[in-house]
Each structure stands twice: as structure tokens, then as C-alpha cells.
Amino acid sequence: MTDRLRGKVAIVTGASRGIGEAIAAAMVAEGAKVVLAARKPDALHAVAEKLGDAAHAVACHTGKEEDVDALVEATVERFGQVDVLVNNAATNPYFGPMMNVEWGAWEKTFEVNLKGYFMCARAVARHLLDRKAEGSLVNVTSVLGQMAAPLQGVYGMTKAAVISMTETLSAELGPRGIRVNAIAPGLVETRFASALTANPAIRQMVLDRTTLKRLAQPEDIAGAAVFLAADESRYVTGHTLVVDGGWTTT
């Protein structure tokens, strides 16, 4: 532990497993107080218990404004402030050609992946502005927001929109000392991505294009989130940090 986040309070959404859990654990290890947010309280509380007193679980549907406002209020009540937000909660209910997607799946994907990100970012930014405090907002997007995404087109559109949101918010909030950046992972071995990682053809296609010749682990993404939350990245904003093992270079 190097205490890179000592004195900072972070909210991490989608923190009950996978990338979100790894980010929360890495931030606690670096000295932060972390509020874990996700829809399912049982898994969330299990992660919080594992991380100890520096972690606190708050059940939250990030697509509902009242839940998001309550999340920020609960964080302030528990730890006194919010300095860092990691938007990580995501869904991908439809796998197939864009021409066949049903509106229910479309709405769900945009509600969680885009509306939820914006509501959380705005709520935390308003808190920082009220405090006249600097802060860091980190949006977990995807390399599929930067390239064609056959069979995952709706998911890819939401992730492209998150990159656009990141850049615009960085321009609007930068003069007040609030940095806004994104992380674009490649294929990560998580339960969320299991439909892809367990498919031999898709897995091999990604490995063939990935110069490091392995899929990412959640901990590979966590390091990038710590960097963007820490003061060492204090002059970085409006940037999308690609963490894909070289997939998009080929």
C-alpha cells in the first residue's frame, strides 16, 4: 500500500463483483474510503465485509434519480464527503444484430449504461461544486465504444456516448477543478462478459488480435482507475485510457 488515495472518499458503482469489486479493493488498499453501490444488496454487503471498515455498501439503482441522490447523501453521512466517482455499473441484455433488437432491451441498456452514468456524474459534480472542491470522475466505457461492435451494437453505442459525455463534462467542469476521464477496457474475464469469454471462437478472435496474448483480469482495470483518481493524474482530463492489451492496435 502506498496511500495514493489517503484522505479521499470514492463511490464505485457496479461494485458487487468483477471490475467494480476490483476497483473498490484497489482504492481501499491505497487508503481511500469507498462506498460500494449495486442493485443486489447481499453480494454488495459481502464485498464490503471483506474490505473492512473503509468500505460501506449502499444498494442503488443508478437508473433512478432518487436512488442516486440517496447514494451521495449516504456517502456524505458515512464519510463526510465525496471526492471520486467511478461509474462502472453496466448491462448488456441483447446479443445479436442491431436490426433485431427489441425496444425493451434498448431502453434497459441506455438506462443503465448512459442515463445512470450521467445521473451519478451530475450528482457527484454538484456535490463537489457545492463544496468548492476538486474531484475526479471516472467512467468505465469500452473499446467497443471506439470501433464497430457487431452483435453488440446497442452496448457499443452507449459506450461511445459515455466517451462523448466524458469529454464534454471535462470541458465544462475543468475550470472548477473537477477532472473527468474514462477507461476503455478490452475483453475482461468477468461473469458479466462470460458469454463472450466462454465462446471459443470469440475468445480466440480477441486473443489473436491482442498483442499481450491474454484476456484482461479485473485487477488490470483497477490500476487505471486508481491512477485517474489519484493526484498523480491531476493534469489529466477529458482522456479515454484504453486498457486492452493491444487489441485495438492491430
How far lies 233's CA from each of 122, 169, 236, 247, in Å? 21, 17, 5, 24
End-to-end CA distance of the chain: 35
Residue with cell 448491462: 91
Q: Is 235 among the catalytic positions?
A: no
Residue 142's H or E segment, with its range, is none
* Identity of the residue numbered 112: V
Closest CA to 124 of 244, 27, 8, 217: 8
The CA distance from 35 to 219, in Å, is 18
The catalytic residues are 155
